[in-house]
Structure 1
Amino acid sequence: MVISARATIRPPAPSKIKILATADELFYEEGIHTVGVDRIIAGARVTKATFYKHFRSKDLLIIAYVEGRDRQVRDWFAEKEAELSDPTAIARALVDSINSEAVRPGFRGDPFINAAAQFADETHPVRVAVTVHRDWYAKRIEELFRQIGHPRPGDAADDLILARDGALAGGYVGDPIAAGAALHRALDHILSES
């Protein structure tokens, strides 16, 4: 019996992965509060029972969405660290990646800031998940500047993150090319202090 290459390469996705992928797309494109569970169920082509088997509430799905986006960022850093040995090259690749994201069709700003904006209570589990990501990100950027040899890596990280947040917001509501150029200038200025 011969099994086709297609059958061995890509087995059907489990229902939980389909739900997460659908939620990721809809939450980012349309906003977390505007997308209901029924819409996700329909988009993922699963039953209500299957949805609730994997996620007992919409909030748990939202947290999984934020954590999935966090994993993507962490994976990006791990990949770049394996690829590039120079921390300055990693910082430049990060800014390039942010710029690429901001000019792609369907860009809607930073998914973490968007999620936080929809949950005013700082103790809400979704806000906590966003805070966990932001804290990790700040520490990771600070460590990057420490590796570069910046005399004030914490300040440098704060400056770059503020410039990044501004570039992502400006890229969404304004001119993404100008926002990206400003982000590059901000990184160049920070690096010149090293």
Structure 2
Amino acid sequence: MAEKAPSPQERKVAARARLLAAADELFYREGVQAVGIDRVIQHAGVAKATLYSAFGSKEELVRAYLRLRHDATMERMSQELAARYSTARERLVGVFEVQGLSFSDPGFRGCAFIGANADAPPPGGAIEQESNDYREWVHSLFFNLATEAGAKDPKGLAKQLVLLYDGAGIGAWMDHDPGAESAARSVAAALVDLAIPA
């Protein structure tokens, strides 16, 4: 019995997924501004009209790419923290271990949002909007955990840990040093011990 041919809607969904996968690979590896639409289309193996039908513009493709990265980071962080740690205090430090899981990946090139902002067009576009959402999540992750763990100044502790989180990612990428995770985790543990006495 012959397989049923995919419907037009199924083909559209599959083409959109191929475009997004190609954008994710190329934008992350080479930069949002360095990679043109034609490269993404060629890499995905679709027609130019398919890209405009699925996303409307390069800016919307960039938005979808950054949302994909944000969603993947949130999901991984949530799952790994829940699986590895039992208290909010442990999770505050554990964030750095989860972050470090990507540091030894051969394709690791730091934070996708920092990369996208490095050569971003003028403010107000998709990159700024998606980056603001991502940064709000990073800050709230630490603030909520610090509050739950009983920090006297959860906002101050969260600010310190966000700076450490950013620095660990940049150090791991620029210095080609997966060990940045361990160093960041040690500093985070000291900050948490000072902010939340046992």
Unaligned runs of 5+ residues in structure 2 are 4-9
Q: CA deviation at 1:185?
A: 1.8
> Which 10-residue stretch deviates more, 129-138 or 93-102?
93-102
Higher relative contact order structure (alpha carbons within 8 Å, sequence separation ≥ 6): 2
Whether the aligned pair in 2 keeps the contact of 1:22 and 1:40 (CA below 8 Å) is yes
Letter of the 1:50 counterpart: T
Letter of the 1:116 counterpart: N
CA RMSD of aligned residues (A): 2.3
Whether the aligned pair in 2 keeps the contact of 1:66 and 1:112 (CA below 8 Å) is yes
Pairs aligned (count): 187
> Which residue number in structure 1 is paired with residue 79 of structure 2?
79
2-structure distance, mates of 1:20, 1:143: 32
> Which 10-residue stretch deviates more, 93-102 or 138-147?
93-102
Poorly superposed stretches of 4+, deviation over 3 Å: 80-85
2-structure distance, mates of 1:183, 1:121: 33
> Which residue number in structure 2 is paired with residue 156 of structure 1?
157
2-structure distance, mates of 1:102, 1:80: 15
Q: Does 1:182 align with 2:183?
A: yes
| TM-score, L = length of structure 1 | 0.86
Letter of the 1:164 counterpart: Y
Whether the aligned pair in 2 keeps the contact of 1:80 and 1:90 (CA below 8 Å) is no
Q: CA deviation at 1:188?
A: 0.9
Letter of the 1:23 counterpart: A
Unaligned runs of 5+ residues in structure 1 are 4-10
Letter of the 2:50 counterpart: T
> Which residue number in structure 2 is paired with residue 88 of structure 1?
89
2-structure distance, mates of 1:181, 1:79: 20
Write out per-residue CA displacement over residues 10-29 of structure 1, whole angstroms, 9 at most, x where no aligned residue. Answer: x9871111111110111001
Write out per-residue CA displacement over residues 152-188 of structure 1, whole angstroms, 9 at most, x where no aligned residue. Answer: 1111111111111111111111141442232112211
Q: CA deviation at 1:105?
A: 0.7
Letter of the 1:181 counterpart: S
Q: Percent identity?
A: 29
> Which residue number in structure 2 is paired with residue 106 of structure 1?
107
> Which 10-residue stretch deviates more, 182-191 or 91-100?
91-100
Write out per-residue CA displacement over residues 84-124 of structure 1, whole angstroms, 9 at most, x where no aligned residue. Answer: 54223333432112222122211111111111112153322
> Which residue number in structure 2 is paired with residue 166 of structure 1?
167
Q: CA deviation at 1:81?
A: 5.8
Write out per-residue CA displacement over residues 113-137 of structure 1, whole angstroms, 9 at most, x where no aligned residue. Answer: 1111121533222112101110122
2-structure distance, mates of 1:62, 1:132: 14
Secondary structure of 1:102 counterpart: coil
Letter of the 2:56 counterpart: R
Whether the aligned pair in 1 keeps the contact of 2:143 and 2:157 (CA below 8 Å) is yes
Pairwise mapping of residues 1-194 of structure 1 onto structure 2 (< 5 A)?
14-80=14-80, 82-83=82-83, 84-119=85-120, 121-193=122-194, 194=196
Whether the aligned pair in 2 keeps the contact of 1:37 and 1:58 (CA below 8 Å) is yes
2-structure distance, mates of 1:176, 1:184: 14
Secondary structure of 2:106 counterpart: coil
